[in-house]
Amino acid sequence: MRQRANSGQILLIAAFIMASLLLSAQIYILEVGKTSEEVELDSLSDFILSIRLGSENVVIGSLANISNGGASDTLELNLEKWASLIRDQYLYGKNVLNYTLRDTAPYSSGIWLNWGVNGHGFSSAYGSFSHRLSGRETDVYQSYTMNITTTLLITSTNRRLNENTRQVNVTINVLNEAEPATAGQITIYYLVSNNWLIPDETNNYTLLNYGNGTYLASFIAAFPAESVEVSAHIMDYRGIYVQANATSIEI
C-alpha cells in the first residue's frame, strides 16, 4: 500500500505542475497577443481551453492519488488550490472557476471507488464546472461536467489438468471513459487456502496484450478446493488504480 500511495502522490504533483505550466504559458501568450486583434482572439480561445485542460489534469491526478491510497478529500482540496491559482495569476480582470463535486450515490465528494467481487471494478471522479473570464473588453462564460472513470472488467475460465492442477485464463478489459484503454501495470492473483498468490514463471504465467484494451493472462496452479477465485489489479496509463475479483468457471 505504501508503494501505491507514493506513486499516487508523485502523479498528483506531476498533474499540478503540468496544469500550472499550461496556465502560465497561456497567460503569457494572451499578453503577447494584445498587439493583434486576430492573435488576441486566438490566444483568448487557447487560454480558455487551458483552464479546462488544466482542470482535467487536476481531476485525473487527484483520482490517481486517491485510488492509490490517498485521502478521500484530495480532489476537493486540489480543486480549491487550482481555482485559487487561476484567480490569482490572471491580472487583467476576473478569472473565476467554480466547481461542484457530485455527492449523490454512488459518489461521495466527487469520488466513487467500487472494486467488486463480480468481475467489475470502477475508479471514478465526477464534477461540474463553471468558468467566467471578464475584463479587457472580454466576458466569456463556459460550463461543463467532467467524468473521469477507469473501468476494469474481468472474466475467467479454467481447465482441469489433473486432480488438483488447473490451467487458468483471465480475460481483462480496461476502459477509460467507456473507451478501450491501455494498462500501465497488471497484476494477477489467485486464492489458495485464504492466501492471495501472484503467479510467476513457475506457473508458466503469460500475459497477452491484444492492443485494444483487452489482455489475456494465463497460468497453471494447484487448487486444493473446487472453487477457483482470481483477482486483477491494474493501473492505467494515467496512474489510476482499480481492481476486481471473479470466480473462474471450469470448462
pLDDT in tens, 160-198: 999 899 999 999 999 999 999 999 999 999 999 999 999
- Cβ pair 186, 199 in contact under 8 A: no
Strands 229-236 vs 183-192: parallel, antiparallel or unpaired: antiparallel
pLDDT exceeds cutoff 60 at 218: yes
**What superfamily in CATH does domain 152-250 come from?**
Macroglobulin (MG2) domain (2.60.40.1930)
Q: What is the mean pLDDT of residues 19-42?
A: 49
Residues above pLDDT 70, as percent of the chain: 82
pLDDT in tens, 38-82: 434 456 777 788 888 889 989 999 999 999 999 999 999 999 988
Mean pLDDT over the full length of the chain: 86
Query: What DSSP state is assigned to residue 108?
Result: B
Q: What is the mean pLDDT of residues 138-163?
A: 94
Query: pTM for the whole thing?
Result: 0.83
pLDDT exceeds cutoff 70 at 25: no
User: Which pLDDT score is estimated for 95?
Assistant: 87
State the Cα–Cα distance between residues 123 and 214, nearest whole angstrom: 18
- Half-sphere exposure of 140 toward its Cβ, with a 13 Å CA cutoff? 17
Q: What is the mean pLDDT of residues 135-145?
A: 84
User: Which pLDDT score is estimated for 39?
Assistant: 39
User: Which pLDDT score is estimated for 15?
Assistant: 55
Q: Give the range among 12-26, 27-41, 160-174 with minimum mean pLDDT.
A: 27-41
Q: Where are the domains of the chain?
A: 152-250
pLDDT exceeds cutoff 60 at 92: yes
Residue-wise burial string across 85-98, b where 16 or more C-beta atoms lie within 10 A, e elsewhere: bbeeebeeeebebe
pLDDT exceeds cutoff 90 at 208: yes
